[in-house]
Chain A
Amino acid sequence: MTEPPHRRRAHARSSDLERYAGLFAERTTAMRSSAMRDLMAVTARPEVISLAGGLPDTSTFPPQTFAAQMTRIAQESAAAALQYGPTEGFAETVDCIVEVMGAEGMLPDPEDVIVTTGGQQAIDLICKTLVDPGDAVICEAPTYPGAIPVFCSYQADTIQVETDAEGMRIDELEATLERLDAEGRRPKLVYSVPTFQNPAGVTMSLERRRRLVELARSRELLVVEDNPYGLLRFGGEALPPLYQLDGGDFVVYVGTFSKILSPGIRLGWAVAPPPVMEKVVLGKQAADLCTSTLTQYFVREYFTGGRWREYVESLADLYRGRRDAMLTALRDHFPSQATWTEPEGGLFVWATLPPYIDTSDLLAKALREDVAFVPGQAAYVDGRGRSSMRLNFSAGGEEEIREGVRRIGKAIGEQVELYGALTGERTEGAAGDGGQAGGAEEAGENVLPFRRAEGE
């Protein structure tokens, strides 16, 4: 059968491309595609176990609830639900947001809230409001890979501050701020995911939270707190969000329904002091006038049912089991030289391999075994992170996670062994694969010098 008639754009000739290139805005040169993106395209094959995405498991949302809500909306509010809405979002949606933030101890003024098309748009609008080309933007190292294109598109000078088990290193942040001071530059914002960070899975300690908020106050700079995962806690003590510690003067808050309800409804929000909010609203008007009315009705209906916390708790239970499965699998299948974070919530584990392994190349090898992850480089603007990887445990079942980690572990084990054979360096295979030693172990002689730390 021939396919239905369709009209496809006549493809550009290369001279046309040149012509278009002359029209491109300066900022597009900072929006880069890379070889890694081509690699990621291959991860979409159905047979691939993907630990690469950041997808919540939406299969747990009851279809009957979905159907009943949509039916009620259609029967009771069809015309309004199909209409434009206010740029700031409906008051009823804001009520739901206040309820969600209240569950983490925050008490925002509803006037300070704007409903956005996902948390991603909130980040974009905040940058649109604050960042001029060349402005310094500070974020964690590693940072949320999806924030990097936003910073790049506003031509920010993105500076990444080292992160350890207690989150962003505030001493290093201070040193960075002082260095910028000396250069006569004032950073516009510090972007942080303090709780169950994407990609590292770490949570900022209370002491550092306090210091960060103090710094923002004393230096009058804005901290953007991105908190998509705070309610997905599997254990340990909940820490106050930066927004709560600060009271909302110098912390701009970004929230989302994506991880507690659904990313498909594209509903997020920002909370900012009135002068900032005024500009954000103007930016939102220019971007898309208003957030989807229909999905705001969806959320309103859902919250009326009063079961949203129950659902979040069921997700946390589910993800706890999957995290445990991943951590066990990592212990079983990753070599002893590897390290990884043990998150108390969220969606991600961050693993770091010996410095001679480039995880972008490892991904190519892993894809032959039909398994994928995000190479660490995606979380940096400066090429760091080459030996790290982000592993997601929310999207697939425990068996899939175990098998995925086993396959990655096997690929790493082969690289470790090969490196051992090349350098004469003593190596250990993956613990779970019988601990085979590197081939050249007995040869004793170092044929090539062993690189002990990452260059430069």
Chain B
Amino acid sequence: MKVAVLKGGRSLERGVSLRSGARVEDALERLGHEALPLEADGELVKRLAAERPDVAFVAMHGPGGEDGTAQELLEILGVPFTGPGVAACARCIDKVLAKHELRSAGVPTPDWFAFNETAFRELGAADALGGLEERLGFPLVVKPSRGGSALGVKFAESWFDVPEALVSAFSYDDRVLLERFVEGRELAVSVLGSEPLPVVEAIPLGGDSYDFEARYEIGRTSFVCPAQLGEGEERAVTDAALAAYEALGCSGFSRVDLILAEDGPQVLEVNAIPGLTDTSLLPQAAEAAGMSFEDLVARILDLALAPASA
């Protein structure tokens, strides 16, 4: 089978995408497929039309590849593709939209407020920030609505940190959210098809759980899979993850990030196309479930070619 591997792109997660893509290409070759590496650039549509692959493996992260843009093109060209469809991608990439969907589906997610840049520039939204303390309380987390990894995510301990954190977050997107900080264990549940994989726990080393950058550095965070959870806890966590996956309309695969607080899990976000590098969480979870990386890639391809099975 001829499999186009879409990778790269202009997003800030370009580097991760290139690593994901290279690893997928290797696996495809070992599976006996013809891997066709495709940079997501101005030539993409032309090359897809000329090469006519049987299926496209989307190994792109962040805006441009994980937001439904590439998926829309693939639909127009009639090329089946891996991972969630256009609508699910568009919902997942936008944390604000995703949180609204989660909340209306009854999936627990921390309280939040969202603001557009224009609201501050033109509508005097700064005055509305006065209600933050009452409604959300401190500490809180300020995030760009669209954006991956820890980029632009800041922890605000008090009023004083908020304007600066907003300026940072608005560097990545014109919409940001201020979210109540929930203390608890950091977990990730990858879902394959409609099956949850073993839970991964991220444990920050050095103790600073407010240092968001540390989460993405090898050596500063240790990842445990399967996470040590009580039976009830594990069920609550996977149930919440599956509910989030469904609420956002995901298919194929995705990764749900949650916090397990004292009173239960809270879903932070869903990554429509999580990383597939050597150190990424989805492959770790698959391995804990007894699947090699090739098995994982093969299963993802099957799901792409038989979407109705979900």
Contacts and interface: CB of A to CB of B under 8 A. Distances in A.
B124 interface: yes
B167 A10 contact: no
B13 A38 contact: yes
Interface in B29-76: 30, 34
A72 B9 CA distance: 45
A421 B126 CA distance: 7
A240 B264 CA distance: 68
Contacts of B292: 13
A364 B172 contact: yes
A17 B168 contact: no
A14 B278 contact: yes
Contacts of A42: 10, 12, 14-15
B183 interface: no
User: Of A14, A358, A411, A445, which is in contact with the most chain B CB atoms at under 10 Å from its CB?
Assistant: A14
Contacts of B26: 8, 10-11
Contact of A11 (B159, B216, B218, B293): B293
A365 B144 CA distance: 12
A256 to B, nearest CB: 29
Contact of B283 (A14, A417, A418): A14
A12 B279 CA distance: 9
B164 A443 contact: no
B163 A451 contact: yes
B167 A415 contact: yes
A133 to B, nearest CB: 16
Interface in A18-45: 29, 32-35, 37-39, 41-42, 45
Nearest to B34: A2
Interface stretch (B86-94, B149-157, B300-308): B149-157
Interface in A411-445: 411, 415, 417-419, 421-424, 439-440, 443, 445
Interface residues of B, number: 50
B124 A11 contact: no
A2 B2 CA distance: 11
Interface of B is mostly: helix
B10 A45 contact: yes
Contacts of B220: 32
B162 interface: yes
A371 to B, nearest CB: 14
Contacts of B14: 38, 41-42
Q: Which of A356, A445, A450 has the most CB of B within 10 A?
A: A356
A50 to B, nearest CB: 15
A362 interface: yes
A364 B159 contact: no
B34 to A, nearest CB: 7
Interface in B107-133: 117, 120-122, 124, 126-127, 129-130
A67 interface: no
Contacts of B129: 422, 447-448
B163 A440 contact: no
B121 A417 contact: yes
B120 A422 contact: yes
A41 B129 CA distance: 36
B195 to A, nearest CB: 19
B284 interface: yes
Contact of B163 (A356, A439, A455): A356
A450 B120 CA distance: 16
Point out which of B122, B126, B129, B287 has the most chain A C-beta atoms below 10 A from its C-beta.
Answer: B126
Interface string A388-424: 0000000000000000000000010001011101111
A357 interface: yes
A218 interface: no
Contact of A440 (B126, B151, B162, B287): B126
B146 to A, nearest CB: 12
Given A35-B150, A364-B152, A422 B213 contact: no
A422 B163 contact: yes
Nearest to B37: A3
A15 interface: yes
B166 interface: yes
B127 A447 contact: yes
Contacts of A411: 171
B181 interface: no
Best-buried of B22, B117, B160 by chain A (most CB within 10 Å):
B160
A422 B126 contact: yes
A449 interface: yes
Contact of A32 (B23, B217, B293): B217
Nearest to B157: A455
Given A13-B287, A42-B10, A42-B12, 20 more contacts: A10-B26, A11-B26, A11-B27, A11-B293, A14-B284, A32-B217, A33-B217, A35-B149, A38-B16, A39-B151, A42-B14, A356-B167, A361-B152, A361-B169, A422-B163, A423-B126, A447-B130, A448-B126, A448-B159, A451-B163
Q: Which 6 A-B pairs have the closest CB atoms?
A: A361-B171, A41-B15, A365-B171, A361-B168, A422-B163, A447-B126
25 contacts: A13-B287, A14-B287, A15-B287, A32-B220, A33-B217, A35-B217, A39-B151, A42-B14, A42-B15, A356-B163, A358-B164, A358-B167, A358-B168, A418-B117, A418-B167, A419-B163, A419-B167, A421-B120, A421-B121, A439-B124, A443-B126, A443-B127, A448-B129, A449-B159, A450-B163
Interface of B: 10, 12-16, 22-23, 26-27, 30, 34, 117, 120-122, 124, 126-127, 129-130, 149-152, 159-160, 162-164, 166-172, 213, 216-220, 278-279, 283-284, 287, 292-293
